[in-house]
């Protein structure tokens, strides 16, 4: 992933797969590394940029507003557009990249906004410039059968900061 070059220091960084994020996070994370921003991408590009002011693993897998929940046990279900995308694209989504970063928490919202503008993630709607036609085609490639094409953007707008 491209770095932002406005003298915003990345305090720490780790790139892992979604599989390792879920199953091996505690073993892979270094002591004193508290990631608070995540970028989800695959070989075709950036899918989502988000922040967590607390524990990023918990934000993804273990709270009432997590992106993914495990019910029934062993089957992932999504609560957000990116969570549904990951859950519905298993097992291939387990190889998608999670770029975990730690920034100064006072700058976190501004950094998230800037990265969304730079990376143009397909499943963020807040801050992202409108999708181009080629981006819409790419996004529809991941569409879950039975969901109208605009459901992802409607969900993001409806839930706002809950899923960012």
pLDDT classification of 163: cutoffs 50, 70, 90: very low
CB contact at 8 A, 79 and 68:
yes
State residue 156's pLDDT score. 53
pLDDT classification of 151: cutoffs 50, 70, 90: low
Nearest alpha carbon to residue 101 among 4, 161, 21, 15: 15
Nearest alpha carbon to residue 37 among 6, 76, 4: 4
Least confident of 1-15, 61-75, 128-142: 1-15
Beta strands in the chain (DSSP E): 12-17, 37-42, 45-51, 68-70, 76-78, 97-102
Q: Judge whether residue 160 has pLDDT over 80.
A: no
Query: Distance between CA atoms of 67 and 60, rounded to whole angstroms?
Result: 5
Query: Distance between CA atoms of 57 and 158, rounded to whole angstroms?
Result: 24
Nearest alpha carbon to residue 28 among 36, 18, 20, 37: 20
- Tens of pLDDT, residue by residue over 105-144, are 999 999 999 999 999 999 998 888 888 898 888 887 776 5
Instruction: End-to-end CA distance of the chain: give it in Å, rounded.
Output: 19
């Amino acid at each position: 992933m491209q770095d932002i070059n406005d003298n915003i220091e990345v305090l720490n960084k780790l790139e892992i797969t979604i599989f390792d994020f879920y199953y091996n996070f505690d073993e892979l994370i270094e002591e004193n590394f508290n990631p608070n921003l995540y970028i989800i991408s695959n070989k075709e590009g950036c899918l989502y940029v988000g922040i967590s002011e607390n524990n990023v693993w918990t934000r993804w897998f273990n709270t009432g507003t997590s992106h993914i929940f495990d019910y029934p046990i062993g089957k992932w279900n999504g609560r957000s557009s990116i969570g549904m995308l990951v859950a519905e694209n298993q097992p291939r989504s387990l190889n998608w990249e999670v770029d975990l970063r730690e920034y100064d928490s006072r700058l976190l919202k501004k950094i998230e906004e800037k990265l969304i503008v730079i990376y143009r993630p397909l499943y963020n709607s807040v801050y992202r410039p409108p999708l181009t036609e080629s981006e819409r085609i790419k996004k529809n490639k991941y569409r879950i059968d039975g969901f109208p094409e605009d459901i992802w953007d409607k969900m993001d707008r409806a839930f706002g900061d809950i899923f960012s």
